[in-house]
């Protein structure tokens, strides 16, 4: 999703594309507590970092401002890049609200106004499950878009990992789909 957003502005630099793309993933850093939680679940002092903080710490306005600030520091085209970063970040939150119901039926409400207020706990009654068909369709469509763009423009999300791997991938794509 973030790559599709980043691709909407052809003038972005490679670094700016990476920031816009990562902005759509970064809210879930608050899910890394799952490692500590799993490791300590049978100990005398279990750490419930995942249960307590996932969809809380990174899924709010305060964290959006942190991400925006980092992007503003490192982007060259500051207005365009940071607006797209914010958009990408909020698409993640929107996607969580509409299509990320947990296997136990938990809706994982988004406390959007944190750390300024606990007032809002965003949920949607029509929310579908994380593994529902809608998410597979959306994912397949986004991958197809990324592949089509890579063939046309000569770079793909792999550029964030390795320029060499990226050029091999694009070369193979172009050879396959002339
Ligand atoms: Zn999330």
Report residue 63: phi and psi, to 5°.
-70, -35
- What's the CA-to-centroid distance between 159 and ligand 1, angstroms? 24
59-110 pLDDT, tens digit each: 999 999 999 999 999 999 999 999 999 999 999 999 999 999 988 888 889 9
Q: What is the pLDDT of residue 25?
A: 96
- What's the CA-to-centroid distance between 171 and ligand 1, angstroms? 34
**Cα 106 off chain centre by:** 20
- Is the dihedral angle over the CA atoms 96, 140, 84, 27 positive or is it negative? positive
* Residue 110 DSSP SS3: strand
Confidence of residue 178 (pLDDT cuts 50, 70, 90): confident
- What's the CA-to-centroid distance between 55 and ligand 1, angstroms? 6
28-52 pLDDT, tens digit each: 988 888 888 888 988 888 888 888 8
Q: What does the DSSP 8-state code read for residue 10?
A: T
Q: What is the pLDDT of residue 88?
A: 98
């Amino acid at each position: 999703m973030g790559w599709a957003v980043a691709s909407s502005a052809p003038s972005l630099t490679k670094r700016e594309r990476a920031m816009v793309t990562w902005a759509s993933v970064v809210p879930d850093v608050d899910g890394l507590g799952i490692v500590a939680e799993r490791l300590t679940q049978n100990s005398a002092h279990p750490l419930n970092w995942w249960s307590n903080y996932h969809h809380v710490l990174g899924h709010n306005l305060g964290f959006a401002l942190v991400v925006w600030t980092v992007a503003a520091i490192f982007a060259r085209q500051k207005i365009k890049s940071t607006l797209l970063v914010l958009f990408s970040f909020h698409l993640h939150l929107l996607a969580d609200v509409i299509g990320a119901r947990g296997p136990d039926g938990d809706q994982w409400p988004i406390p959007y106004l944190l750390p300024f207020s606990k007032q809002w706990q965003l949920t949607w009654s029509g929310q579908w499950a994380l593994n529902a068909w809608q998410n597979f369709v959306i994912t397949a469509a986004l991958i197809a878009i990324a592949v089509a763009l890579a063939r046309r423009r000569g770079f793909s999300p792999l550029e964030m990992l390795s320029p060499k791997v990226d050029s091999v991938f694009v070369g193979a794509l172009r050879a396959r789909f002339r």
